[in-house]
Chain A
Amino acid sequence: MSGVGGEPALLELRDLGKDYGSVIALDGISASVRAGEVTCVLGDNGAGKSTLIKILSGVHRADRGELLLDGAPASFGAPREALDAGIATVYQDLAMIPLMAIWRNFFLGAEPTKGWGPFRRFDVAEAKETTRRELAAMGIDIRDPDQPVGTLSGGERQSVAIARAVHFGARVLILDEPTSALGVKQAGVVLRYVAQARDRGVGVVLITHNPHHAYPVGDRFLLLNRGRSLGEYAKADISREELTRLMAGGAELEALAHELERPVD
């Protein structure tokens, strides 16, 4: 595997596995996430992408294999533990509350306070100012941080969620299908913010089923199929066509293409 320098990866997965009862959800997954790189996890529905996220973000524990954080074994019992270790997850539903203002969402669960004792209060001025500044730094122009998140477009919301994770010192940023519900233009906007986060030195895990979104921004690709790894590839080792083919199940797709061809006579 090609890496940056000799330092250990931010996050390394060795032979990770997870069962739900008698169902094997994941087995033998190995991959690495490095600072300033984007690791894409590709797979069709039911490939085990969600299970993998849940292990990385501390919702579930792995049943087999090892998770190495900065080269040392780690295990997260709760989302809070993963967060404290610098692993932030932006969920598909974004973990944002539509009826709440942008700045309230931005600091949700980590509100800055001032004062002490019973007078300890939410530092509102600070929260609004930081929200505006952080969004501007990501190149996101928000008209009014007081507007409810529900009034933002899907792409804008993704961007706010990414800016939030970066602000809170995420070293590893896990993005769960950030482009799946978006149109082409909005998806492009989100991928640009993914690249922004990468350029700020964050190790990004991009989960997607769309190789056309993954290929331009990814540095390495982990392919999943029915809970098993089809291999981890560096960008130099795989072409976009190869990626698309593997992703769709290779031979299966060829057979399908053959089947769908018009009979020539």
Chain B
Amino acid sequence: MGAVAVFLFFAVQSETFRSPRGIANWLDPASTLGIMAVAVALLMIGGHFDLSAGVLTGTTALTVGVVATEFGQNLWVAIAVSLVLALAIGFVNGWLVTRTGLPSFIITLGTFLMLQGLNLGLTKLFTGTVTVGGIDDVPGYAAAEWVFASKVEVLGAEVRVAVLWWLLFTALATWVLLRTRFGNWVFATGGDDVASRNVGVPARRTTITLFMTTAGAAWFVGTTLAVRLTSVQANTGIGQELIYIVAAVIGGCLLTGGFGSAIGASLGALIFGMTQLGIPYLRWDADWFYFFLGAMLLLAVLANRLVRRYAEAARR
């Protein structure tokens, strides 16, 4: 609904926006954001936040770069190392949250700051600068480029392959949420984790898996960035974590957990992409972008509140 309205709003006023080429353009930022938003939505449905998700895309991208260029490894080895690292960080986040019972907001704020420092410090230590470059000179680059950063011709426009991955991940996440036991556990853990543990749901394992999924998505996006840009800045991804949460909330995720959808989060990312490129297409000042995003967020939160009221209205 919201996505259609935003599309019409820009499409009516700008011809470039509605051309296949224009569509491919705004699908691009929507895709990498969308992959993250879907994973973050799953985590939010499961009742948690991950503030380290944004900076983790930087960490994984930098790891790919450093292992490939500074240690002279094949790019695929670097990508594998990066994946292991990401999953380990996701596990630590999830483990700390489930062990301590502290709000995930605080725990992941801690890992966020730590990773931010590590990204800068280690990048400087290994390269002497704040960027890692020359990723395209490493063996294995051609195949990695094909998987993470190639372009596909659709209706006369070149669409980045990340868009296809985004669609695939959205479909996969939707299926898992609605049609598997794990999906049922995600809703239950986010709805009431004490109650779900009482009926035998492995709530702890579910939460840790969700954190690792988010970290895995960050790895995918980080790798895509590294391969696509061939050089990575040490501050990559900082500030993105809130955008992921915004996209998930615009897509209907409750901040309190237990409700939401992967498709909704994808549409939230789509709205974000359309707005981000639609505003320059209309030759408006880019400052309006954040105003628009904030307004969407407020509207979405108000709509979500109605959902929750409806479901709890008849309680007792």
Contacts and interface: CB of A to CB of B under 8 A. Distances in A.
B184 A151 contact: no
A72 to B, nearest CB: 23
B181 A122 contact: yes
Given A97-B195, A99-B259, A122-B184, A181 B316 contact: yes
A95 B199 CA distance: 7
B195 A121 contact: no
Interface in A119-155: 120-122, 124, 148, 150-154
Contacts of B311: 98-99, 148, 150-151
A119 to B, nearest CB: 10
Interface residues of B, number: 29
B191 A98 contact: yes
Interface residues of A, number: 31
A80 interface: yes
Contacts of A98: 191-192, 311-312, 315
Given A89-B198, A95-B195, A100 B187 contact: yes
Point out which of A83, A95, A110, A124 has the most chain B C-beta atoms below 10 A from its C-beta.
Answer: A95
Given A99-B258, A150-B314, A152-B314, A110 B200 contact: yes
B179 A124 contact: yes
B201 A151 contact: no
Please classify the interface of chain B as helix (H, G, I), strand (E, B), loop, or mixed, using the class held by over half of its residues: helix
Contacts of A94: 195
A213 B188 CA distance: 32
Interface string B173-215: 0010001110111011001100111111100000000000000
A113 interface: yes
Nearest to B311: A150
A99 B191 contact: yes
Given A99-B191, A111-B184, A150-B314, A91 B198 contact: yes
Interface stretch (A10-18, A22-30, A38-46, A101-109): A101-109
Contacts of A99: 187, 191, 254, 258-259, 308, 311
B35 to A, nearest CB: 20
A163 to B, nearest CB: 14
A150 to B, nearest CB: 4
Contact of A97 (B175, B258, B314): B258
Contact of B184 (A89, A91, A108): A108
A100 to B, nearest CB: 5
Nearest to A97: B191
B183 A153 contact: no
Contacts of B197: 79
A175 interface: no
Contacts of A124: 179
A79 B180 contact: no
A108 B175 CA distance: 17
Given A94-B195, A99-B311, A79 B316 contact: no
A49 to B, nearest CB: 17
Contacts of A120: 180
A181 B315 CA distance: 11
A100 B312 CA distance: 11
B102 interface: no
A167 to B, nearest CB: 13
Contacts of B187: 97, 99-100, 104
A96 interface: yes
B259 A79 contact: no
A96 B195 contact: yes
A91 B197 CA distance: 12
A109 B200 contact: yes
A241 interface: no
B313 interface: yes
Given A97-B196, A110-B200, A121 B179 contact: yes
Contacts of A83: 200
Given A111-B181, A121-B179, A100 B198 contact: no
Contacts of B192: 93, 95, 97-98
A152 B313 CA distance: 9
A89 B197 CA distance: 12
B290 to A, nearest CB: 31
A97 B184 CA distance: 11
Contacts of A95: 192, 195-196, 198-199
Nearest to A123: B179
Interface of B: 175, 179-181, 183-185, 187-188, 191-192, 195-201, 254, 258-259, 308, 310-316
22 contacts: A79-B197, A95-B198, A97-B192, A97-B196, A97-B258, A98-B192, A99-B187, A99-B254, A99-B308, A99-B311, A100-B184, A100-B191, A100-B258, A109-B201, A121-B179, A122-B181, A122-B183, A150-B312, A150-B315, A151-B310, A153-B314, A154-B315
Interface of A: 79-80, 83, 89, 91, 93-100, 104, 107-111, 113, 120-122, 124, 148, 150-154, 181
